[in-house]
Amino acid sequence: MHWLFEPGLFSNHTVRTALLVGLIAALVSAVVGVFTVLRGQSFAGHALTDVATAGGAGAFLAGVAPIIGFVGGGVLGAGAMDAIGVQRVKGRDIATGVVLGAATGLSALFLYLSATSSASTGATQMILFGSIFTVQPSTLPVVAILSGVVLLTIAFIARPLLLSSLSIELAATRGVRVRVVGLVFMVTLAVSVGLSAIVIGSILSTALLIGPPASALKVVNRFWLGAAIAVVLGIGATWAGIVFAYDSYYWIPSHRALPVSFFVVAFVVVEFAFFSVVHRRRRGRPATAIEDSSHHVETQWH
Amino acid sequence: MFSSFMTNAWLSGTIVAILAGVVGFFVVLRAASFAAHAIPNGAFAGAAGANLVGLNPLFGLISFAIVAALSIGATSRRSRSDVATALSLVLMLALGAAFLTLSTEYEPAINALLFGEILGVSSSQLLPVLLLAVLCVVAILALYRPLVFTSVAPDLAAAKGVNATFVEISFLLVLALATALTVPIVGALLTFSLMIGPPAAARLLSKHPARALTLSITLALATVWASIACSFEFNLPIGFFVGTFGAVLYLCARVSHARRAVRSVA
């Protein structure tokens, strides 16, 4: 196994923190991601990482703790998207787009100001691409607590949320307050991607939010089983990516380690390709995938 | 503000605005914002890759933008299109991150690609940009009827035998080309803002497609010109102004739209 686990991998504090943070981020992203994929809100999920990034850049500039900027920016963005009309399927695309456009403008301003006003370089890359290897162990408790809040909220609204994700009409006739549930989910999504954007960067945040759940939903039609598979896939890709990124330092003669995000995304995409092939092979049998079966809601979810 | 070193900024800004006004109108009409966001970011990775191997960044931009457009177009027919777009996007960005790590490029060059450097447009860059922009606008005009038809009434268009897949892929390719052009000038992040804010506002203000398209071009031009002027005056990045003006335009259009709706009810 020496070829896989290069010397010092597990005795390294940075790597241990990264593995732990990766575990938390992958777990939360997978659970929230299953709903995001089911509801067709991948764009919002991705856009909120960029909005959170704008908040993070603002916090960096103001000298506030970055986590406040990331989470606060994400929640504000979610509120703005909801106000413009993310709830209606038709207006969703534009609402997300307008908020994202405004947020990238703010990012440009904040990053420019922090690049010109302070001597610290690398702020842009740090904020945009993030690195799991730069996580300070001291941020771990905050991340863990907020993750717990996200998971509890999801557990609390899981049933009405699932119902309204599969069929808004059916949920409404059953007395679910679709609009409230949708807003609560958007805010939860914002907190979750804000968290993952700060610890693993905005690229990985989207990759872990969408990739593993989309893979899992290709092959199973039971919600909690799908979530469980997504969690396993997400954590697997993250840990494998961390190990490979650590090892890659020894691969290139110039000793430049390749970024973690590169490896994790590669694993996530390979997983998705694999599950797509499995899905297509099984397509001869009766279709049971969640995405095709909103009319099965009654029989399958109760 | 109108001195000689600003000439190229005004010219290239004008070209980009017209292009974004035209292409963005169909992005809004077809609800393709996510693709319009993903393709410039994919193109950014291409530029980073071209930088690494010492090619002209425009080649990297164009080839990666086309690959992104095709992968979004090809996979979206089989599975959920937003998932396909998201995964294409993160794959491109991750490649970009890897290229950046390997190259020795310093940070300002990366910021220029992300946020644009309209003041740095050289005269030799201007001609290819103009030619490709004309090509994009001509392609859109040639596709005008099927584009509007498949966007507004997809079922009717299918019944009439319009090949929706062909229209979609062609549109994504034009979007890719337009993106590759605008990225070096206003940056990967702001190409998107320019393609969404002004066209979305225009669409709210007029129901008639041709009139809305004209309005979209006008608003995009106003946004870019005002942004260049403010950027020059206050010495702040142009991207900030493009993003802000785009959002403000959209909000104003929303307010006026809501007022008209109230009046027509009353």
Structural domains in chain B plus CATH codes: 4-189 (1.10.3470.10)
Q: For residue A255, give the DSSP letter.
A: -
> Would you call B187 and A108 a contact, using CB atoms and an 8 Å cutoff?
yes
Q: What pTM was computed for the model?
A: 0.84
Q: How many CA atoms lie within 13 A of A49 on its CB side?
A: 29
Please give the residue range of the domain that contains residue A149.
13-300
> Which of A 255-274 lie inside 8 A of B, CB atoms?
256-259, 261-262, 264-266, 268-269, 272
Closest among A26, A88, A33, A1 to A216, alpha carbons compared: A33
> Would you call B94 and A265 a contact, using CB atoms and an 8 Å cutoff?
yes
Residue B102 contacts A where some CB pair is shorter than 8 Å: yes
Q: What is the pLDDT of residues A221-273, one digit of tens each?
A: 888 899 999 999 999 999 998 888 887 777 766 666 777 888 899 999 999 98
Q: How far is A226 from chain B (nearest CA, A)?
A: 16
Phi and psi at A222, nearest 5°, equal -100, 130
CB-based contacts of B181, cutoff 8 Å, min separation 6:
B16, B19, B129, B132, B133, B136
Residue A1 lies in a domain: no
What is the rounded CA–CA span in Å between residue A170 and residue A97?
29
Token pair listed for B253: 């259009």
Q: How far is A143 from chain B (nearest CA, A)?
A: 23
Measured torsion, CA atoms of residues B42, B47, B49, B52, in degrees rounded to the nearest 10: -160
Q: Is-contact A195 A142, C-beta < 8 A?
A: no
The ipTM, to two decimals, is 0.84
pLDDT score recorded for residue A297: 39
Q: How far is B205 from chain A (nearest CA, A)?
A: 15
Q: What is the mean pLDDT of residues A12-24?
A: 83
Averaged confidence pLDDT in chain A: 80
**A-chain residues within 8 Å CB-CB of B241?**
105
Phi and psi at A135, nearest 5°, equal -65, 130
Q: Is-contact B197 B246, C-beta < 8 A?
A: yes
Distances (CA, A) of A244 to A1, A267, B170, B171: 13, 10, 39, 38
pLDDT score recorded for residue A35: 92
| Termini Cα distance of chain A | 47
User: Across A13-27, B55-69, B205-219, which has the greatest mean pLDDT?
Assistant: B205-219
pLDDT score recorded for residue B255: 86
Q: Is-contact A291 A166, C-beta < 8 A?
A: no
Q: Is-contact B11 B126, C-beta < 8 A?
A: yes
Averaged confidence pLDDT in chain B: 82
Q: How many CB atoms lie within 10 A of CB B33?
A: 27
Q: What is the pLDDT of residues A59-70, one digit of tens each?
A: 878 888 778 888
Distances (CA, A) of B259 to A87, A236, B255, B256, B262: 21, 53, 6, 5, 5
Of A37, A105, A203, the CB nearest to B90: A203
Q: What is the pLDDT of residues B7-51, one digit of tens each?
A: 878 888 888 899 999 999 988 888 888 888 888 888 878 888 887
For residue A196, name the pLDDT band (cuts at 50, 70, 90).
confident
CATH number at residue A121: 1.10.3470.10
Query: Is the per-residue pLDDT at B254 higher than 80?
Result: yes
Of A106, A207, A268, the CB nearest to B240: A106
**B-chain residues within 8 Å CB-CB of A99?**
247
What is the rounded CA–CA span in Å between residue A23 and residue A20?
5
Query: Is the per-residue pLDDT at A200 higher than 70?
Result: yes
Q: Mutate which of A131, A238, A265 to test chain B, going by most B C-beta atoms within 10 A? A: A265
What is the rounded CA–CA span in Å between residue A26 and residue B70?
29
Query: Is the per-residue pLDDT at B140 higher than 50?
Result: yes
For residue A295, name the pLDDT band (cuts at 50, 70, 90).
very low
Exposure string of B171-189, with b = 16+ CB inside 10 Å and e = fewer, is bbbbbbbbbbbbbbbbbbb
Q: What is the pLDDT of residues A82-111, one digit of tens each?
A: 888 755 656 678 888 888 888 888 887 887
Q: Mutate which of A46, A104, A110 to test chain B, going by most B C-beta atoms within 10 A? A: A104
The residue with greater pLDDT, A186 or A296, is A186
Token pair listed for B222: 């106003």
Residue A46 lies in a domain: yes
Residue A6 lies in a domain: no
Residue B107 contacts A where some CB pair is shorter than 8 Å: yes
Q: How many CB atoms lie within 10 A of CB A112?
A: 20
pLDDT score recorded for residue A294: 41
Query: Is the per-residue pLDDT at A123 higher than 60?
Result: no
Total count of domains within chain A? 1
Query: Is the per-residue pLDDT at A3 higher than 60?
Result: no
Residue B230 contacts A where some CB pair is shorter than 8 Å: no
For residue A299, name the pLDDT band (cuts at 50, 70, 90).
very low
Q: What is the pLDDT of residues A146-193, one digit of tens each?
A: 999 999 999 999 888 888 888 878 888 888 788 888 889 999 999 998
Query: Is the per-residue pLDDT at A32 higher than 90?
Result: yes
Q: Is-contact A30 A236, C-beta < 8 A?
A: no
**A-chain residues within 8 Å CB-CB of B87?**
207, 210-211, 214, 268-269, 272
User: Across A29-38, B152-161, B206-215, which has the greatest mean pLDDT?
Assistant: A29-38
Closest among A130, A136, A144, A157 to A53, alpha carbons compared: A130
> Cα B249 to the chain's mean position, in Å?
17
Token pair listed for A113: 């100001």
Q: What is the pLDDT of residues B60-119, one digit of tens each?
A: 888 888 888 888 877 665 556 788 888 888 888 888 878 877 776 555 566 666 666 666
For residue A290, name the pLDDT band (cuts at 50, 70, 90).
very low
Alpha helices (runs of H) in chain B, residue ranges in sequence order: 4-29, 33-53, 57-76, 81-102, 107-115, 123-142, 144-152, 154-159, 164-186, 188-205, 209-234, 238-265
Residue B77 contacts A where some CB pair is shorter than 8 Å: no
CB-based contacts of B36, cutoff 8 Å, min separation 6:
A97, B24, B27, B175, B179, B192, B195, B196
Q: Is-contact A135 A17, C-beta < 8 A?
A: yes
For residue A275, the one-letter residue type is F
pLDDT score recorded for residue A234: 94
